[in-house]
Structure 1
Amino acid sequence: MSRKLGVLEDTPNIRRPHQIRKMSTQPATTTIELTRKEAQLKDLLLDTAKYVNNSQPSAQPVILRWAGGWVRDKLLGIESHDIDTAVNTMTGEAFALKICELCEQPEVAEKHRITGADIGSLYKIAKNPDKSKHLETTTIKLFGFDVDFVNLRKETYSEDSRNPQMEFGTAEEDALRRDATVNALFYNLNTSRVEDFTSGLKDMGAKLIRTPLEPFQTFMDDPLRVLRLVRFASRLGFRIDHAAEECMADVKVLDVLKLKISRERVGVELEKMLKGKDPRRSLQYINDLGLYHTVFTDPTKPSMPLPDLSRWHNVYECLSYLFSSQTHGSISRVLVPTKEVSYYAWTLSALAPWELADEPEHKGKGKPPPPLITLAAREGIKAPNKLCDVVTAAHRNKADIFALKTAVVQKESYINERDRFGMAIRHWDARGSHWQLQVLFSLLVEAMQRWEVTSTSSKNNDDFLSEWQSFIDHLRELDVMDAPSMKKLIDGTQLAKALGIKPGKWMTGALEVCVAWQLRHPKATDPSGAVEEVNKRRKELDIPPS
């Protein structure tokens, strides 16, 4: 069966005979033991295939395969709730609609023990060839799994065009067009066997990430595969094939990755890396393969300066060390308390080189543009607004954070002024939230110059971290860690009433005076002292007479 799905306006897998590695026509096989829920899903899908086959007895029978990541993870003993299902004779959407149709029959629901919560909504994700999104997929939530449905496919092309057509294909043809051999495995639901057309099982045993076909053209077809291979190598602890590494660093590949792939898709891949098992290794790959300026950039600004990466490795090595030595009250435990914040921390470490880049001079009137580091986050990886706010605040508050940290280390006379430190923390948090991450960012920026990457304990590293540990310990001793959420003894309405005047612009500064007074008097429960402080400073605060 060969039915065209439509012409893709892009540069997919164009293969010439000499580019295709010799593959066995008979796949290597093995088996997978299914869980109860997986077996329940398999039975429903096979009954749906039978339902389709009975309705069109003269047509080629439907054969179903679970593909890619689920197969790989099951063989590695990793739990997976995302299952890609490949269909040989019909589109994924058409097959998914047949599932919904079949499940409306009461006897089917009873046979497969289907409850209302077992079948979710069906939705379709359209392809976008202009951004190398070639696959149109249909997804349903089934028995707790996110099940994607797509037809098996191959790519054909004419001699005068690099834009091929996508057609229904065989399992082998589908396997050859995937990003890595370990992701090109199938589990045949009809035979209950794993099918391997690309030596994926052998590469899995060797812990090797390799492309099924010639790597340069593989990456030119879909440059996002460069980042996907980095992600899989980091997540699985595998090494990338040397030939693939050389092509991943090719300037032609990097150019199409920068200009052809949507920055949202780049950001998604990076987020998966930094939320994955080994973020440090992902960043090391990006550094070693020369991918940094392609990923962390604004492609609409070709004149954007390039940050110096010569000491960037110090940053992610330092952060990795901090996470590996967590104890009660340690730097990472205090500054990075949750998993979400951990992802933010790794993102800040990735962006750190931009902090040392020369900011362009702002000329003329109007609001100055965002700092370069914010542009790299917002436009390079399409970081969410919340994360961009943290990045901007970390950049703008760095000098203030350094100053207070230095004061503590040098034991300046004012370091026990609780209001000075508490108000500073409130200021950092108000401008971007996550003030602890802003402190961590300042530490990582300093690590670029002071951290020493060494296999043994370094006195310089110990001295460097002890300074920051002292700063954090001092904040805890002052009991100002929760200063941003401190409950105020008096609000604006109460203050205006106590002063006998109407609320006005003066109120913001006056309330800051009240908060500072409260920080100096942590046991106070009566705000009268704060009101008195404001009264004394009426002229300074531009408060009108009563």
Structure 2
Amino acid sequence: MRPLPRLPLRSIPRLCTISKITFRPFSQSLMVKRKSEALGDSFDIQPPSRIRKTGKMEAQPATTTIELTSKEAQLKDLLLDAAKFIDGSGSVEEPVILRWAGGWVRDKLLGIESHDIDTAINVMTGEAFALKLCELCQQPDTVKKHAIAESDVGNLHKIARNPEKSKHLETTTIKLFGYDVDFVNLRKETYTEDSRNPQMEFGTAEEDALRRDATVNALFYNLNTSKVEDFTTGLKDMKAKLIRTPLEPLQTFMDDPLRVLRLVRFASRLEFSIDPAAEEVMGDRRVLDALRMKISRERVGVEIEKMLKGNHPRKSLEYLKKLGLYHTVFTDPTHSNIPAPDISNWKLAYELFDSLRQNKTPGSIYDVLVRSDEADYYSWVLAAICPWENVGDPPYDGKGKPPPPFVTLAAREGIKASNKISDLATAAHNNRPEIMSLVTAVSEIAPFITERDRFGMAIRNWDARAGHWRLQVLYSLLVEAMEALAPGSAKSVSKDDFLHKWQLFLDHLQELDVMEAPSLKRIIDGNQLAKALGVKPGKWMAEALNVCIKWQLRHPDATDPAGAVEEVQSKRAELGIPEKK
């Protein structure tokens, strides 16, 4: 969606025009900074209690306190003034109570910086509150009191419900003081036997907490009382570093199967353990079937992307294997008859990659092959789907375009990976035989390994369709590792010997100076070549230019293209170049 132009502060209500989009995944900081003190000593818990109110015993949450930054305090004061503004308007029957909910509270207690704040409201929708907030921000006294600069208030958007993709909540969001602030009413979910989508109703803070995926995500910071509220066991579980569901695990996961992946993500990101009672049912066939059929693959992909871009991607993959989630996540859910890969040795691949990441010294395997944060993420995707390499190719009757390899389907259909990643998976699969052939040749000191053009042209070919030829080499390494490092395998070798072979290959490419072969500038272009040959360009041109590139790779210091033209002349008949007219 194209952002609206920023207007002067006095025009804030116009900035708050509602726009509708179907889904906006929240963003969050992936690099975390922990407090120096132990988690268990970072906050004190006041135990829960019950009080008599309106003739009934109502739960009072366990509480603790946190210290706000100056910006957080500024935001809090503005929101509280908005609540008073609404109370004074007479538009609500009860006083407005505001709570910051979920991830921000959890991260604040952990000492992790977060710029995403979910604000839960007790008596009105998020949209209604946000519009009143924008109205208040128009008033000069409010601008002065809260020192609101023009850049402090951004555009307001409405994120529509999409139950068919398990997006059950309608949310309104606005940028305030540098924070992405979402507004939504406290709610409870009611499920019926004839519908897989919940009925959303206004609820209490306790009901809202109980419907969440994990107790550590069910905490509130009450802006009115300045206390953290825990209606479940969130504070206790924070101290125990435990991911637990607020309700019975099977019910929690069947209500929303995506929670299975969310728990994996939070456990790996926070380095918490998952409650054994939850682990026991996360791989339940009923839960897996619901995850496969009920949740859109786009949402599955979002969770996997956050795992693999997080600070502990290896731990995420460990959980997917341990809990039996692999075949549900990395597959094409629309086809039930495709084979399942053997993942018994999969851990050898992702553990090896994780160990390579620990050694980023110049010239190391990781340093040579993975050269950006994007490449690191792509590498984890390849590590995740590499078991599919050993399944074989999909059946093909020779008619039409061949189907993509299974490894591509795992990425494209399983997690809805981008076209760039899917193309990379296809190229890595298609080019692996040649990559392995050259690795073996270098290891065995084959006679042709000094042929710079052979290696340079191979690299150019690997890179031509999908780019990232280095990651294709890494993929081949990881696939081979699942067999070569497996105890008892006929081809089993030590980890040191295995890595030595691959390091030798990369060092050889460095010695040949072909690492940048894909970006090699041609010494002569097509028009120049056609003119030198005295003919018009034709179908022969692409292969003729390859001949020139090969010549250029054999003569890296040449600046005159005459030798390349002579090489093409000698292959004129072979290339199908017509004679001069």
TM-score where L is the length of structure 2? 0.87
- Structure 1 counterpart of 2:63: 29
1:150 to 2:178 alignment: no
Helix, strand or coil for the counterpart of 1:415? helix
Structure 1 position 414 matched with structure 2 position 448 = yes
Deviation digits for residues 226-284 of structure 1, max 9, x if unmatched?
Answer: 00000000000000000100110100000000000000000000000000011111001
From 128, 136, 140, the counterpart of 2:162: 128
Alignment equivalent of 1:424, drawn from 440, 450, 458: 458
Check if 1:222 corresponds to 2:256.
Answer: yes
1:284 and 2:318 aligned: yes
In structure 2, how many angstroms separate the alpha carbons of the residues matched to 1:483 and 1:256? 48
The C-alpha deviation readout for 1:36-94, integer Å capped at 9, x for no partner, is 22112112111111111111176211111110000000100111111111111111111
For residues 208 and 397 of structure 1, the distance between their equivalents in structure 2, rounded to whole angstroms, comes to 44
Give ranges in structure 2 of 5+ residues lacking alignment.
Answer: 1-47, 51-58
Alignment of 1:2-17 (within 5 A): none
Alpha-carbon distance, 1:495 to partner: 1.2
Contact 1:318 1:451 in 2 (8 A): no
Partner of residue 429 from structure 2, selected from 378, 385, 395: 395
Q: For residue 355 of structure 1, what is the aligned residue in structure 2? A: 389
SS of the aligned residue for 1:496 comes to helix
- For 2:530, give the aligned amino acid: A
> In the TM superposition, what is the alpha-carbon distance from 1:452 to its structure 2 partner?
5.2
* TM-score between both structures, scaled by the size of structure 1: 0.93
- Secondary structure at the aligned position of 1:48 is classed as helix
**Residue deviations 1:170-219 (CA, integer Å, cap 9, x gap):** 11110010000000000111111100111101000000000000000100
Separation in 1, partners of 2:49, 2:214: 14
Alignment of 1:315-354 (within 5 A): 315-354=349-388
- 1:515 matched residue in structure 2: 549
Q: CA RMSD in A?
A: 1.7
Tell me if the contact between 1:127 and 1:134 (Cα under 8 Å) persists in the aligned partners: yes
Q: Which amino acid aligns with 1:318?
A: L
Offset of 1:158 from its aligned partner?
Answer: 6.5
**SS state at 1:525 partner:** coil
Per-residue CA deviation, residues 119-176 of structure 1 (Å, 9 max, x unaligned), is 2211122222223221111111111111111110113466887765221111111001
Larger CA deviation: 435-444 vs 90-99: 90-99
- Matches of 1:366 and 1:487, distance apart in 2: 36
The 2-side partners of 1:228 and 1:451 are apart by: 32
CA contact (8 A) 2:168 2:198 kept: no
Q: Determine helix, strand or coil for the equivalent of 1:117.
A: helix
Q: Are 1:59 and 2:93 matched, yes or no?
A: yes
Q: How far apart, in 2, do the equivalents of 1:451 and 1:178 lie? A: 42
Give the SS at the match of 1:134: coil
Asked if the contact 2:345/2:486 (under 8 Å) is kept, the reply is no
Cα distance change, pair 248–158 in 1 and its aligned pair in 2 (3 A) = closer
Deviation at 1:290, TM superposition (A): 0.5
1:182 aligns with 2:216: yes
2:109 corresponding residue in structure 1? 75
Instruction: Kindly indicate whether residue 319 of structure 2 is the aligned counterpart of residue 258 of structure 1.
Output: no
Distance 1:281 1:542 in 2: 56
Distance 1:292 1:374 in 2: 15
Could you say which residue in structure 1 is the equivalent of 2:562?
Answer: 528
Aligned AA (1:429) = D
**2:77 is the alignment partner of 1:46:** no
Once the two structures are overlaid, the 10-residue window that deviates more, 88-97 or 157-166, is 157-166
3-state secondary structure, aligned to 1:150: strand
Q: Distance in 1 between matches of 2:195 and 2:332?
A: 30
SS at match of 2:318: helix
Matches of 2:434 and 2:82 in 1, distance apart? Answer: 64
Tell me if the contact between 2:49 and 2:62 (Cα under 8 Å) persists in the aligned partners.
Answer: no
Which has the higher mean CA deviation after the structures are superposed, 213-222 or 511-520?
Answer: 511-520
The alpha-carbon distance between structure 1 residues 160 and 372, as it changes in their structure 2 partners (threshold 3 A), is: closer
Pairwise CA distance, 1:459: 7.3
Tell me what 1:468 maps to. 502
C-alpha displacement of 1:310: 1.1
8 Å contact kept, 1:123–1:140: yes
92-101 vs 209-218, greater mean Cα deviation: 92-101
The higher-RCO structure (CA 8 Å, 6+ apart) is: 1
User: Which residue in 2 is equivalent to 1:541?
Assistant: 575
Cα separation, partners in 2 of 1:397 and 1:111, compared to 1, 3 Å: same
Identical-residue share of aligned pairs (%): 71
- SS at 1:124 equivalent: strand
- How much does 1:487 deviate? 1.4
Match of 1:12 in 2: none
Looking at structure 1, the residues matched to 92 and 105 of structure 2 have their Cα atoms a distance apart, in angstroms, of 31
Change (3 A) 1:164 1:221: same
Structure 1 outlier segments of 4+, above 6 Å: 158-162
Q: Which amino acid in structure 2 is aligned with residue 541 of structure 1?
A: L
Aligned to 2:7: none
Q: Structure 1 pair 157/320, CA: closer, same or farther in 2 (3 Å)?
A: closer
The residue number in structure 1 matching 2:173 is 139
